Every structure is written in C-alpha cells, then in structure tokens.
Amino acid sequence: MTGTTGARLDGVGVVKQFGGLTAVDDLTVHVEAGEVVALIGPNGAGKTTLFQCLTGGERPDAGRVLLDDQDITAKSPDARARLGIGRTFQRLAVFPTMTVADNLGVGAENRTNSGTVVRVGALLLGILGFAFEDIRRHRARVEEVLDQLDLQQVRDAPAGTLSTGTLRLVELGRALCHDPRVLLLDEPASGLDIAETQHLQHVIRDVAASGVAVLLVEHDVDLVFDVADRVYAMAEGRLIATGGPDEIRRDPAVLEAYLDVTYVDVEAPS
Ligand SMILES: Nc1ncnc2c1ncn2[C@@H]1O[C@H](COP(=O)(O)OP(=O)(O)OP(=O)(O)O)[C@@H](O)[C@H]1O
Ligand SMILES: [Mg+2]
C-alpha cells in the first residue's frame, strides 16, 4: 500500500432545497478514517442529494461540509478530489476502448473528476510532464490496485467487453488510484450478481482496513448490513435512524419506511 492516511468527513446541518421541496433537511452525518458507513433510504429520500453535497456536485443551502475540520463547503468537486475525496458514479464512466489497466492509469495520472477530453488530455500532458519517478510510482500504484481488486486477469481487455460487475470494479479501481482519504460510493452493487457483490464487500472492507473512510449509498440492504460499521437511514430528507446494522435492521421507523415503499411499488393506486 501507499502512505495514504484516511480522513474524517462531516456534513453538519446540511440543507438542500429544490424549489419548494426540501430534499435534504438539516442532516448531520460523519464518517471516520477506517470506517464503513452506509446511507440507506427509500426512493426520493435524499441520499443522492446528500452525496452530491458532500462531493461538491451540489452546493447546500445551509450547513457545512468539513474534511478533517477544514471547511470545504465552497470547494468544487475537483478541489475536493485533490484534497483526497474519491468517488464513483452510479452511472458507469469507463473508457470502453481502453484496456482495464489504462482505465486505471487515467485515475492514477489525473486526480480530478473532469470530463473525458480534459481527463485524456491531462493524461497525455501528465505523461509528457512527469518525471520518470512519478510515472514509475503511478504504474506501481495501478499494479497494486489491479492486484487488490483481482483484475490482473483482465488487465489487457478493452473495458467495453466486460460485464457490469467487472466495470464497477474498474471504476472503483480508478478511484483507488487517486489514493483517496475518503471514498464515496454511489450504489456500487447496482447490476452485480451475488458472487460479485460478495467480492465487492470484501474489497470495501479491505479499503477501510487500509485507513480510508468509506461512505456508501446503497439500495441493497443485505450488502449494507454485512459491510457497514454504522448506518444512517433517511426518509423524506431527514434522518429516521442511525446505529449499527443490527439496530437498524430492527428499527420500527426503518421497517415502516421500507414497507411503505414495498406497498406503493406493488399496489400503486392508479
Ligand atoms: N436536481 C433536482 N431538481 C429538482 N428536484 C430534485 C433534484 N434532485 C433531486 N430532486 C428531488 O429531491 C428528492 C430527493 O432525491 P434524491 O435523488 O436525493 O433521492 P434518493 O434518496 O437518492 O432516491 P433514489 O433512491 O431514488 O435514488 C426527490 O424528491 C427528487 O425528486
Ligand atoms: Mg439516488
């Protein structure tokens, strides 16, 4: 592993409104170095909006975001990435014609979350401008991450030929090549089969064990209950419960929120 150390990320009193709708209503959450924290809740609860406020895609209307007590509320997503906040995207964002190893290399050589053109440009400029030692160090980091994620056997395959499950790992790998201190995962198990989900659980635990603070937003509550140290459950923009997986699993408010969703999904009135 590299010398990365984890950091603590706090969202304090975060409020985000869209017109008359309060999507996130005065939420306070935190994740510490070495910890896996999950954010769950029914559709429309405000999970993605809170995630966006933490990663910089949305600016909160009130409240603050702190990285190791430094106020980063006004910082752009790129600035947050440079400070060590890594993330994956719900919608897969890989370069289909590039190999798995090269997809990870983009992450290693450019620590921003800019658009494709900027990223590839920065990759090329980065290679030209880098000292040999930097290139060697980045390549070594890519190899470490390929090992860590069990991706060596597909390292030379074009990303576009791989399954969704493998691509989710590629995206996670690219984030890991940034050496994040805090890693935020948006529905990382979406589209994965059971074996892939188990592998992902193992990887998430491994990343946290290396000291990184991990926050995941996830619909798959089985994944959450198996992997999380702590869980925040949200509904309608508010926290309805927080605690260890065993407490959350039995929490009446959580059960009600999820049962309501099941009821509406199955027997939606016309
Ligand atoms: N950009 C936006 N403009 C207007 N309303 C929005 C916007 N983004 C989210 N919302 C609304 O805010 C509320 C919370 O949405 P959000 O996407 O954060 O929920 P979620 O918990 O991530 O839901 P899901 O599980 O369906 O992904 C919803 O009512 C949604 O319609
Ligand atoms: Mg969402």
**Ligand 1 centroid vs 237 CA: distance in angstroms?**
9
Which ligand is closest in space to the CA of residue 18?
A: 1
**Ligand 1 centroid vs 109 CA: distance in angstroms?**
33
| Other CB atoms within 10 Å distance of the CB of residue 40 | 26
Q: What is the CA radius of gyration of the chain?
A: 19
Quick one: which atom of ligand 1 is closest to the CA of 58?
1
What average pLDDT score do residues 49-70 get?
96
Atom 2 of ligand 1: nearest residue by CA position: 18
The Cα 93–Cα 5 span in angstroms is 26
The Cα 176–Cα 145 span in angstroms is 7
| Other CB atoms within 10 Å distance of the CB of residue 180 | 23
Q: Is it the case that residue 68 has pLDDT exceeding 60? A: yes
Pocket of ligand 1 contains residue 23 by CB under 6 Å: yes
User: For 29-41, how does the pLDDT look when each residue is reduced to its tens digit (9 = 90+)?
Assistant: 999 999 999 999 9
The Cα 142–Cα 148 span in angstroms is 10
| Other CB atoms within 10 Å distance of the CB of residue 266 | 7
Higher-confidence position of 114 and 56: 56
Confidence band (pLDDT; 50, 70, 90) for 124? Answer: low
Is residue 183 within 8 Å of 200, Cβ to Cβ? no
| Other CB atoms within 10 Å distance of the CB of residue 69 | 8
Phi, psi of 265 (to 5 degrees): -65, -40
9-13, 108-112, 202-206: which range is least confident on average? 108-112
Q: In the beta sheet, which residues pair with residue 217? A: 39, 186
Is residue 9 within 8 Å of 65, Cβ to Cβ? yes
Q: What is the pLDDT of residue 190?
A: 87
User: For 213-236, how does the pLDDT look when each residue is reduced to its tens digit (9 = 90+)?
Assistant: 999 998 778 888 899 999 999 999
Q: Is it the case that residue 266 has pLDDT exceeding 60? A: no
The Cα 215–Cα 37 span in angstroms is 5
Q: What one-character-per-residue DSSP string does 46-112 give?
A: SHHHHHHHHHTSS--SEEEEEETTEE-TT--HHHHHHTTEEE--SS----TTSBHHHHHHHHHH--S
Q: What is the pLDDT of residue 264?
A: 45
Q: Read off the pTM.
A: 0.86
**Ligand 2 centroid vs 217 CA: distance in angstroms?**
8
Higher-confidence position of 83 and 105: 83
The two three-digit tokens of residue 15, written as one number: 């409020």
Question: What are the helix (H) ranges across the chain?
Answer: 47-55, 77-82, 100-109, 116-129, 132-148, 164-176, 194-209, 221-227, 245-250, 252-266
Write down all domains in the chain, each with its CATH number in brackets: 1-84+179-270 (3.40.50.300), 96-177 (no CATH)
Atom 1 of ligand 1: nearest residue by CA position: 18
Q: What is the pLDDT of residue 112?
A: 42
Q: Is it the case that residue 156 has pLDDT exceeding 80? A: yes
The Cα 155–Cα 146 span in angstroms is 7
Confidence band (pLDDT; 50, 70, 90) for 127? Answer: low
DSSP label at residue 24: E
User: For 176-217, how does the pLDDT look when each residue is reduced to its tens digit (9 = 90+)?
Assistant: 998 999 999 988 988 888 888 899 999 999 999 999 999 999
What percentage of the chain reaches a pLDDT higher than 70? 84
